[in-house]
Amino acid sequence: MKAPADLLLLPQWVVPIESAGARDSAHTGSVGRSGSPHPCGALADHAVVVQDGMILDVLPADAAQGRYHAAQTVALPSHALIPGLVNLHGHAAMSLLRGFADDLPLMTWLNEHIWPAEKRLVSDAFVRDGTLLAAAEMLAGGVTCCNDMYYFPQAAGEAFLQAGMRATLGMIVLEFPSAYASDADDYLAKGLALRDALKDEPLLSFAFAPHAPYTITDATFGRINTLAEQLGLPIHTHIHETADEIRDSLQQHGMRPLERLARLGLLGPNFIGVHAVHVNDAEIELLAQHGCHLAHCPSSNLKLASGIAPVAKLTAAGVNLGFGTDGAASNNRLDLFGEMRLAALLAKGTSGMATALPAAAALKAATLDAARALNLDSQIGSIVAGKRADLVAVDLHALSSQPVFDPVSHLVYVAGREHVTHVWVDGILKLHDRKLVDLDIDDLSARATYWRTKLTA
């Protein structure tokens, strides 16, 4: 008798991300029909079996059809099936500020345009609408999980749940007042209340999100560090994004920002630094020694003229790296396929080594390594029996994709988010044949137009 299953997926290739040796011994089908795995790690003519939102099995397609009786079978004859992409750093609600203040350096952009606009407009409604717009864009582009940092995180959480997208909600902390909170104590209190209110939602997790060393005092960092250790939560903050940030820290504190955070005890396996554009060799070694994680945001760093992170040195030192889009106001796309390709090319160009950040490493950074930074790698990030079924089908049939020698190489250097046809989160279909299943595109567009009118009035 065949075993029951909810879903049987039959792609041309399964790209599990984790190597055969790293997968559970009970997980069958680690080789293709030829008897050996594809040299890039992709499994040809394999199936993925899903039950109750979980990956039940990965095995050769013939064996799967003989072993399982699925309520639904989806044939994907020209597709690569990959784990859902993980956006390790973003400000989802800022999708409503896309293109608002372009072609400006970071501090001018923030001080003279973004922060004044946010002071006027940011509210529960703004964050809910902006986050829903961002979730739609990300899901359509194969991003199934993001690490978000913004005001009114409860409204963001409600929007992510409405979209059916996985998210880590940043409990944002600043010293100065906003429409959301009055001071650091108020930000922390509201963040902790948010965690208490939504901690039982399976698609949501939480992180402390102090904005940056230049907006947080030592005392507040100390309190955050204590709470993070008590609750076992990540700390997610901008770090070494610009040369000005480092110069100002030297003037104010007599040390560079990373040294300051190290002295405060913040560096460790729960630390996610964002950007890390201006890090020297000693700081790279410091990050590696402490087991820190970095969110590399190449498009945003280039657009704001902040610089280029030394990715080849960081990965050579063993620093765990994921990719982030940053907000749509500074990118202006929430496109992780674009970030993968750009990151790989920049690593090669800046290091002078064509072997820097190869395709397989870039794809792993966008999936399993980013999940690891969020403490979610036991749940998502690879196609392994026992993990949640966050899955993305990428069609490599187009003429621009032919011929396919190596599907992993194509996923990084050839494919784009326009090639994503199907997306599942927790086994639930979110994108079908390039069309969002649950979200009304016309409604989202109307909301965006409303906020554009408010912003320009």
Contact 192, 171 (CB under 8 A): yes
Percent of the chain with pLDDT over 90: 92
Same domain, 253 and 391: no
Domain edge (last residue) among 373, 396, 412: 373
Same domain, 62 and 167: no
442 within a domain of the structure (yes/no)? no
Same domain, 53 and 175: no
Let me know if 433 is exposed, middle or buried by CB neighbors in 10 A (0-12, 13-18, 19+). Answer: exposed
Domain that holds residue 406: 3-83+381-426
Pairing of strands 271-275, 166-173: unpaired
Same domain, 49 and 145: no
Contact 238, 309 (CB under 8 A): no
- In angstroms, the CA 330 to CA 300 distance is 5
pLDDT (tens digit per residue) in 240-280: 999 999 999 999 999 999 999 999 999 999 999 999 999 99
388: nearest Cα among 2, 7, 3, 4: 7
Contact 320, 293 (CB under 8 A): yes
Number of domain units in the chain: 2
Element (H or E) spanning 338, and its range? helix 336-351
Q: Say which amino acid occupies 358.
A: P
249 within a domain of the structure (yes/no)? yes
439 within a domain of the structure (yes/no)? no
Residue 19 binned pLDDT confidence (cut-offs 50, 70, 90): low
CATH classification of the domain holding 407 = 2.30.40.10
pLDDT beyond 60 at 287: yes
63 within a domain of the structure (yes/no)? yes
**Is the link from the previous residue into 403 a cis peptide, with omega within 30 of 0?**
yes
**pLDDT score recorded for residue 107:** 86
pLDDT (tens digit per residue) in 348-401: 999 999 999 999 999 999 999 999 999 999 999 999 999 999 999 999 999 999
- In angstroms, the CA 421 to CA 250 distance is 49
pLDDT (tens digit per residue) in 423-438: 999 999 999 999 999 9
Same domain, 176 and 238: yes
Same domain, 243 and 154: yes
**pLDDT score recorded for residue 32:** 31
91 within a domain of the structure (yes/no)? yes
Mean pLDDT, the chain, integer: 94
437 within a domain of the structure (yes/no)? no
Contact 386, 345 (CB under 8 A): no
43 within a domain of the structure (yes/no)? yes
Same domain, 350 and 402: no
What is the DSSP-derived secondary structure letter of residue 45? Answer: T
Collapsing DSSP to helix, strand or coil, 32 comes out as coil
**pLDDT score recorded for residue 31:** 30
**pLDDT score recorded for residue 106:** 83
Q: How many CB atoms lie within 10 A of CB 307?
A: 15
Collapsing DSSP to helix, strand or coil, 339 comes out as helix
Contact 308, 280 (CB under 8 A): no
Domain edge (last residue) among 338, 373, 408: 373
Q: Say which amino acid occupies 21.
A: G
Residue 56 binned pLDDT confidence (cut-offs 50, 70, 90): very high
Residue 457 binned pLDDT confidence (cut-offs 50, 70, 90): confident
CATH classification of the domain holding 232 = 3.20.20.140
pLDDT beyond 50 at 36: no
- In angstroms, the CA 137 to CA 134 distance is 5
State the average pLDDT over residues 298-327.
97
321: nearest Cα among 371, 356, 383: 371
Same domain, 238 and 386: no
Same domain, 28 and 64: yes
Contacts 24+ apart (CB under 8 A), 183-186: 184/216, 184/217, 184/220, 184/223
Same domain, 64 and 99: no
Collapsing DSSP to helix, strand or coil, 151 comes out as coil
- Per-residue CA distances from 4 to 75, 390, 424 (Å): 18, 20, 19
447 within a domain of the structure (yes/no)? no
State the average pLDDT over residues 29-40.
34
Contact 185, 165 (CB under 8 A): no
pLDDT beyond 70 at 81: yes
Contact 139, 424 (CB under 8 A): no
Concatenated DSSP letters for 90-124?
Answer: E-GGGGGGTTSS-S--HHHHIIIIIHHHHHHH-SH
Tokens representing residue 369 in the block: 């390594």
Element (H or E) spanning 275, and its range? strand 271-275
pLDDT (tens digit per residue) in 191-234: 999 999 999 999 999 999 999 999 999 999 999 999 999 999 99
Q: Say which amino acid occupies 194.
A: L
pLDDT beyond 70 at 178: yes
Collapsing DSSP to helix, strand or coil, 378 comes out as coil
Same domain, 98 and 185: yes
**pLDDT score recorded for residue 310:** 98
pLDDT beyond 60 at 37: no
Same domain, 62 and 95: no
